[in-house]
C-alpha cells in the first residue's frame, strides 16, 4: 500500500473555489488549457504519485545512493530510477520546459498544485527533474548558442545543478573563491570547490549541465563580482548533442545525511586535474541576478515540498487515529469496564489533528495563493500592463520568503511534534513513514537559505528596501476583508486585531532600523526579531486564507450533499486556527517591544 494519499479535493477547492483560477484558464498565454484539461492533469498526477512515484520512496531512503570514488559517478536504486522514468515518460517535464522547446504553458497555480503531489509522494524525483526548469533559464538568458544548449538539455533530458555554496562561503555567497579565466576561444576555465550541491550526479541522465557561480579574473569583491557559467559534465557537439570527452567537473564526496538519502548532495571539484570548461551565461557578468532566477524557483519548490510533506503526515496521522484503539473515553476514564476507543476520541489527539489539518490546509492555500500571483505576472506581462506587472512582482517577492521560511519551519516542527506524536512510540519506528517524513523535511528549513536568512531577506529587502509598498497593499487587502463583517464576524474581528499587532511589530523594527543609522547597535534589536516577524506574517496570511475558505464553505453547506463533512471541516479549521494561533501575535508584539539587546552583550563564555 502506498505511503502517500494526495488531498486532491482540497487542492481543487483552493484552486477553483478560493482562488478562482478558472477565470485565467483558456485566456491569453493560457489559451490551450481549460478547466477540464487542468482537472484531468491533476487527477492523472494523483494516480501517478500514489502508485508509480510513491513506490520507491522508502527503498530510496533505505538504500540511498552509491558513490564510485574512482570515477566520481553516483548511482541510485533501480526502483527509484523506475519511478523517475515514469515521471519523464509521462511527459510531465513539459510543464517546466520552454514552450519554444516543446514545453506546455500552464498557469503557475496549476503547475505548483501538480508539484505538491510529486513532492509529497517522492520529493527527490522533482529535485532531480529540475534540469527542465534550468533549461528555461538558459533559454531566456542565454546567447543563441546557449539557447541551442537549452534545447539539447530538454531533448536529451539532461540534469542540472545550481552551484553556489563553497566550504567557506555558505550563506555569504559573495565570499566564494571559485575563479574563472577566459580562454582564447571564448570559453572559460573554472577552478574551485563547491559543497552541498544537490543532484551533483546520478545515473538518471547521460549528461548534467552545472550552473556555477565563479569570480572572473578582475571581477570585484562580493556578489557583484560573480558571474554564472554553464559547465557540462561531458563536452558535447553543440548541434547534435553527441557526447565527447569528460569535462573537468567531478564529484569528490557524497554527504551522509539524516534524510532525503536518495537525493545526492555532493562536494564538487572544478579544474583540479583537467580544465573545467564553461560558457558565460548570456555573455554578461550578472551572475547573482541570473542565479536568482533559479533560486526563486528553488525557494518556491522547497516551501511546497515542506507543506506537501506536512499534508502527507497529517493524512497518515488521521488514518492511524481512526484505527488505533487505546484507553477509554475520558468522560468515563475511571470506569475500568468501559469500552476501549480509537484515539481520535481523546481530546488532545483531536487538538493535535486539528493543528495539523488547519496548518496543512492553510499553508497549501498560502502556496497556491502565491502561485496565483505568478499567474498574474505572466498575464500582466502579456497584456503590457506595466503598473500591474510591477505590483505583482513586488507581491511575489514578498511572498517567497513566507512560503519558504514560514512553510518549512512550521511543517518541520509540526511533523515532529504533532504528526509523529499521534503514532506514539510507533511513530519513532520505520514501520510507519512518519520518521522518514521528519528526517526528509528538516532540510527544508536549511535549503536555499535558512529560516533566519529568510527572515532577514523578508524584512530588509521585501519591506524596508521596498518602502513597505507590497506589504502595505497586502495588509490593506487583509484589513478590508477583516472589516467586511457578515459570516464569521468574530474570526474576522480577531484577524483585524492580530493585523494591528503585526503592524505594531513591523513599526518597532523599522524604527530600530532607522535608529541604527546613528547608533549601529540598534540593528541587533531588528536581527533578534526578524524570524519572529516572518512567522507572524505567515500566521496572519494563513488565518486570512482559512477564514476566506470558511466563508465559501458556509455558503456551500446547504446544498453540499456528500461534501457536507468537507465544508464543515473547513469552517472548523478556520475557527480553530484563529482561536489557537492568532493570539500569539499579541504576545509577539510585547516581546518585540521589550527587546533590549542585552543578549548581545553577554560574553561568549557565559553561553
Take residue 350 and report the three cell numbers written for it. 483531536
Q: Could you tell me which residues come within 8 angstroms of residue 235 by beta carbon, excluding any fewer than 6 positions away?
A: 243, 244, 245, 246, 247, 277
Take residue 550 and report the three cell numbers written for it. 470558511
Distance CA 522, CA 318 (A): 47
What is the distance, to the nearest Å, from the Cα of residue 404 to the centroid of all Cα atoms in its chain? Answer: 5
Could you give the C-alpha distances from 59 to 65, 115, 136, in angstroms and in order? 11, 21, 32
Neighbours of 263 (CB within 10 A): 25
Burial class (CB in 10 A: 0-12, 13-18, 19+), 325: exposed
**Helices 386-401 + 287-321 axis angle, to 10:** 60
Distance CA 540, CA 547 (A): 11
**Catalytic annotation, pick one of 448, 477, 483, 593:** 448
Take residue 341 and report the three cell numbers written for it. 476507543
3-class secondary structure for 366-414?
HHHHHHHHHHHHHHHHHHCCHHHHHHHHHHHHHHHHHHHHHHHHHHHHH
Please choose, from the candidates 195, 166, 160, the residue with its C-alpha nearest in 3D space to the C-alpha of residue 179.
166
Q: How many Cα atoms are found within 13 Å in the side-chain-facing hemisphere of 408?
A: 30
- Specify whether the backbone of 66 is left (phi greater than 0), alpha (psi in -120 to 50) or beta: beta
Distance CA 61, CA 437 (A): 11
Distance CA 508, CA 529 (A): 10
Burial class (CB in 10 A: 0-12, 13-18, 19+), 45: buried
Take residue 479 and report the three cell numbers written for it. 484589513
Catalytic: 448? yes
Active-site residues, by number, are 448
Amino acid at each position: 500500500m502506498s505511503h502517500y494519499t494526495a488531498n486532491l479535493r482540497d487542492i481543487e477547492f483552493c484552486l477553483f473555489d478560493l482562488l478562482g483560477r478558472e477565470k485565467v484558464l483558456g485566456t491569453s498565454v493560457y489559451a490551450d488549457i481549460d478547466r477540464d484539461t487542468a482537472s484531468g492533469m491533476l487527477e492523472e498526477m494523483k494516480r501517478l504519485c500514489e502508485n508509480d512515484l510513491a513506490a520507491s520512496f522508502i527503498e530510496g531512503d533505505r538504500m540511498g545512493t552509491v558513490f564510485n570514488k574512482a570515477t566520481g559517478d553516483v548511482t541510485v536504486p533501480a526502483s527509484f530510477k523506475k519511478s523517475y522514468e515514469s515521471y519523464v515518460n509521462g511527459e510531465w517535464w513539459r510543464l517546466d520546459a520552454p514552450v519554444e522547446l516543446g514545453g506546455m504553458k500552464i498557469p503557475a497555480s496549476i503547475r505548483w498544485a501538480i508539484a505538491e503531489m510529486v513532492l509529497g509522494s517522492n520529493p527527490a524525483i522533482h529535485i532531480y527533474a529540475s534540469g527542465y526548469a534550468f533549461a528555461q533559464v538558459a533559454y531566456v538568458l542565454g546567447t543563441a548558442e546557449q539557447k541551442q544548449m537549452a534545447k539539447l538539455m530538454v531533448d536529451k533530458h539532461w540534469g542540472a545543478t545550481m552551484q553556489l555554496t563553497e566550504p567557506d562561503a555558505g550563506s555569504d555567497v559573495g565570499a566564494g573563491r571559485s575563479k574563472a579565466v577566459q580562454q582564447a576561444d571564448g570559453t572559460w576555465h573554472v577552478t574551485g570547490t563547491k559543497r552541498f550541491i544537490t543532484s551533483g550526479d546520478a545515473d538518471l541522465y547521460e549528461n548534467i549541465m552545472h550552473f556555477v557561480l565563479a569570480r572572473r579574473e578582475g571581477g570585484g569583491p562580493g556578489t557583484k563580482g560573480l558571474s554564472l557559467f554553464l559547465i557540462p559534465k561531458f563536452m558535447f557537439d553543440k548541434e547534435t548533442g553527441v557526447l565527447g570527452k569528460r569535462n573537468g567537473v567531478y564529484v569528490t564526496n557524497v554527504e551522509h545525511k539524516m534524510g532525503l538519502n536518495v537525493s545526492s548532495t555532493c562536494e564538487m571539484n572544478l579544474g583540479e586535474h583537467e580544465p573545467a570548461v564553461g560558457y558565460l551565461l548570456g555573455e554578461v557578468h550578472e551572475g547573482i541576478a541570473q542565479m536568482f532566477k533559479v533560486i526563486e524557483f528553488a525557494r518556491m519548490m522547497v516551501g511546497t515540498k515542506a507543506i506537501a510533506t506536512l499534508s502527507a503526515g497529517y493524512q497518515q496521522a488521521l488514518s492511524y487515529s481512526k484505527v488505533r484503539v487505546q484507553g477509554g473515553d475520558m468522560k468515563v476514564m475511571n470506569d475500568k469496564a468501559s469500552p476501549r476507543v480509537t484515539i481520535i476520541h481523546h481530546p488532545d489527539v483531536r487538538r493535535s489533528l486539528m493543528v495539523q489539518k488547519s496548518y496543512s490546509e492553510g499553508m497549501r492555500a498560502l502556496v497556491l495563493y502565491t502561485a496565483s500571483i505568478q499567474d498574474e505576472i505572466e498575464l500582466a506581462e502579456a497584456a503590457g500592463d506595466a503598473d500591474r506587472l510591477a505590483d505583482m512582482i513586488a507581491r511575489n517577492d514578498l511572498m517567497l520568503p513566507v512560503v519558504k521560511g514560514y512553510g518549512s519551519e512550521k511543517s518541520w516542527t509540526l511533523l515532529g511534534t504533532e504528526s509523529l506524536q499521534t503514532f506514539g512510540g510507533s511513530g519513532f519506528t520505520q514501520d510507519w513513514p512518519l520518521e522518514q517524513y521528519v528526517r526528509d523535511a528538516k532540510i527544508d528549513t536549511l535549503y536555499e537559505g535558512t529560516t533566519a536568512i529568510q527572515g532577514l531577506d523578508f524584512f530588509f529587502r521585501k519591506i524596508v528596501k521596498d518602502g513597505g509598498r507590497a506589504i502595505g497593499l497586502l495588509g490593506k487587502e487583509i484589513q478590508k476583508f477583516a472589516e467586511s463583517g457578515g459570516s464569521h464576524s468574530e474570526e474576522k474581528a480577531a484577524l483585524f486585531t492580530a493585523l494591528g499587532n503585526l503592524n505594531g511589530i513591523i513599526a518597532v523594527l523599522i524604527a530600530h532600523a532607522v535608529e541604527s543609522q546613528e547608533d549601529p547597535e540598534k540593528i541587533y534589536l531588528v536581527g533578534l526579531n526578524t524570524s519572529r516577524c516572518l512567522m507572524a506574517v505567515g500566521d496572519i496570511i494563513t488565518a486570512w486564507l482559512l477564514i476566506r475558505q470558511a466563508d465559501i464553505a458556509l455558503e456551500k453547506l446547504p446544498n453540499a450533499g456528500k461534501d457536507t463533512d468537507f465544508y464543515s471541516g473547513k469552517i472548523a479549521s478556520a475557527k480553530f486556527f484563529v482561536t489557537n494561533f492568532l493570539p500569539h501575535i499579541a504576545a509577539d508584539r510585547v516581546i518585540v517591544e521589550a527587546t533590549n539587546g542585552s543578549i548581545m552583550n553577554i560574553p561568549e563564555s557565559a553561553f
